[in-house]
Chain A
Amino acid sequence: MVSTSFFTALDRIFFLLRDWLVGFLPVALRPAAGVLLGVIAIVAVFPGFFALTTVFERKGLGRMQNRLGPNRVGPFGFFQPVADGIKALTKEDVVPYRSDRIVHFLAPLVLVVTVFLGFAVLPMGRNMVLADMDAGLLFFFAMGAATELSIFMAGWSSHNKYSLLGAMRGIAQMISYEVVLLLSAVSVVMIGGSLSLSKIVEAQNSYSGVFPHWYIFTPWGFAGFVVFAIAATAETNRSPFDLPEGESELVAGYHTEYSGFKFALFFLGEYLAMFSISGLGTTLFLGGWSAPLSFFDFVPSWIWFFGKVMLSIFVFIWMRGTLPRLRQDQLMNFAWKFVLPFTLLNLFVTALWRFLGEGWLRWAVCSAILVAAWALMGRVGMRRKHFGPRSYRYAE
């Protein structure tokens, strides 16, 4: 009994902490202070998370490439981000001659602010959501769309050809994949029946036996998750969709002309976007803060949420370590001619799933349609573009 209450307390630790801190203030100020504390927590925690992720990413990439990764600054190199931060702060802030100074200055700020806003609606644990909106999903996508603005601001104001090309690529790519991202989330809304992210998590937080009812464990959910992951990678400009900043082609893309802390802010923005989109993916498909098996229920919900986000980030890093970059036209082709039709089909399959009723039939039908569609479309696409494995002849 003691242990149960201990775990409940641990689950609610952030609330208890907040209530304790707010308790020092007059009653009238308490609600506002509570919200403010939440904001401060997010603004403080996620950049810390970002610092940690950069180390993990570099170490993980290093291991994938048979290297050690950073290990010189502090124990096991974990103070590397501190060193990087100091370096970024002490660097000269170069603003190109003839650039649009105000826009050049604003672009990184716009990126970071809009990305931070997305965190407001993510349920990071049981009842742990800063603004539990009924249309939380919509708010999230609206904020996600606003990040595109900052990329174009950066590319345009820099007065640099590479920056401009990068920004053009960025806009084209993000708008294309925005559609896919939205549509893949719509299938969740169709089943979950709500735009509120907390309600979507609640809908997944039930178990048959020990197994959870996460949407990823359904054919449409799995397909939706795959598509969502592809679109999320493109949205956050991560490899293999990192064309806007493709260093081998465009030097550094839209942030070529940024140095010092402004560059660090872009970097921060990119990683925060990765966290928020991972958080959204977790919420929509991986059951949010719910435990993966029913008997792990006692573990605090926020641990599950952050664990799942970490896992998705590992997959991001893993992909970055493996895959080369696509080309712009291929990226657009892939978005409009493959992913989008597939997502639309997935919406249809979701509807089928809803109306076929319980039983193995809906499993079989939905899986068959999706697998066949993926295989067929992939095949046709590859054949039309004339690519595939080849065999070679030899001269003796």
Chain B
Amino acid sequence: MLGEGILKGMAETAKNFFGSYVSKERLTTVEYPEERVPAAENARAFPFLVYDGPDWQAGLRCVSCQICEKECPPKCILIEKSKDKKPDYVGKPQFYPVRFDIDLSVCMSCQICVEVCPFDAIKMNTEFALATDDRFGGLLFSREKLAKSNEYYHSIHPTEAAEVDARLAEEKAKVEAKAKAAAEAAAAKAAVSASPAEGGN
């Protein structure tokens, strides 16, 4: 009969009308500033630079290899390489960025910089409320603003950070073992080279 489908539809909306008072499944609204959904662990917003230890300048993992600068699709990263070197986490002397700027107004949160970084130096933050009234400089983040501690990284992406730490520790151990072996070999060599000298004497 004419009107049947209309009545069926009206019953449906009535069901939803009452349903939204009782069922959380139906009324999924989260009233944002007061309530917030915790960010998903994988959630990503904008990149930040990880540093180890207490001093951000000394502990910055970035060695300014400039791969991310090259790979960044919208080209929002600007890196200036240092002239001198400083030791990285394994103690090997490396370059460091004297300037590391990300224009967050250009960044499209694609995470490719994170993927291509061989040093686990750049990671994605979950902080998204970055609105500012400074149109030109407000979203141009320099390395001071971008640097975040490893503890912070652990607090936002615990699983991923643990994996990264384990990998770095392994590498470090490997390097240390190698260095130790090398040192031992050197020592042995030194001892060997020293002994003929001794013998020579």
Contacts and interface: CB of A to CB of B under 8 A. Distances in A.
Q: Determine direct contact between A and B, CB below 8 Å.
A: yes
Interface of A: 60, 63-68, 71, 318-319, 321-323, 338, 374-375, 377-379, 381-382
B13 A322 contact: yes
30 contacts: A60-B17, A63-B17, A63-B20, A64-B17, A66-B16, A66-B19, A66-B20, A66-B26, A66-B28, A66-B29, A67-B20, A67-B29, A68-B27, A68-B29, A68-B31, A318-B13, A318-B14, A321-B13, A321-B17, A322-B6, A322-B9, A322-B10, A323-B6, A338-B2, A374-B1, A375-B1, A377-B2, A378-B3, A379-B1, A379-B2
Contacts of A374: 1-2
Interface in B1-52: 1-3, 6, 9-10, 12-14, 16-17, 19-21, 26-29, 31
B3 A64 contact: no
Given A66-B26, A66-B27, A381 B13 contact: no
B31 to A, nearest CB: 7
Contacts of A66: 16, 19-20, 26-29
Contacts of A65: 16
Contacts of B27: 66-68
Given A68-B31, A375-B1, A63 B21 contact: yes
A374 B2 CA distance: 8
Interface of B: 1-3, 6, 9-10, 12-14, 16-17, 19-21, 26-29, 31
B1 A378 contact: yes
A381 B10 contact: no
A189 to B, nearest CB: 26
Given A66-B28, A322-B13, A323-B6, 12 more contacts: A63-B16, A64-B13, A64-B16, A66-B27, A66-B29, A68-B29, A318-B17, A319-B10, A323-B9, A338-B2, A375-B1, A378-B3
B28 to A, nearest CB: 7
Contact of A382 (B2, B14, B16, B20): B2
A233 to B, nearest CB: 12
A55 to B, nearest CB: 16
A18 B26 CA distance: 49
Nearest to A226: B3
A378 B10 contact: no
A228 to B, nearest CB: 15
A321 B16 CA distance: 11
Contacts of A375: 1-2
B105 to A, nearest CB: 29
Contacts of B10: 318-319, 322
B25 to A, nearest CB: 9
Most buried by B among A66, A321, A323, A374: A66
A30 B13 CA distance: 51
Nearest to B25: A66
A72 to B, nearest CB: 9
Contacts of B14: 64, 318
Contacts of B28: 66
Nearest to A321: B13
Contacts of A377: 2
Contacts of B13: 64, 318, 321-322
A322 B9 CA distance: 6
Give 4 nearest A-B pairs by CB, closest first: A378-B2, A322-B13, A64-B13, A64-B17
A71 B3 CA distance: 34
A81 to B, nearest CB: 21
B17 A322 contact: no
Nearest to B21: A63
A318 B13 CA distance: 8
**Which residue among B6, B10, B14, B28 has the maximum number of chain A CB atoms within 10 Å of its CB?**
B10
A330 to B, nearest CB: 13
Contacts of B3: 378
Contact of A381 (B2, B6, B20, B21): B2
A193 B166 CA distance: 93
Nearest to B10: A322
Nearest to B28: A66
B14 to A, nearest CB: 7
A382 B6 CA distance: 14
A249 B56 CA distance: 58
A283 B137 CA distance: 66
A68 B16 CA distance: 12
Question: Which of B6, B17, B27, B28 has the most A CB atoms < 10 Å from its CB?
Answer: B17
Contacts of B17: 60, 63-64, 318, 321
A322 B12 CA distance: 8
Contacts of A338: 2
Contacts of B29: 66-68
Contacts of A318: 10, 13-14, 17
Nearest to B19: A66
A245 B16 CA distance: 27
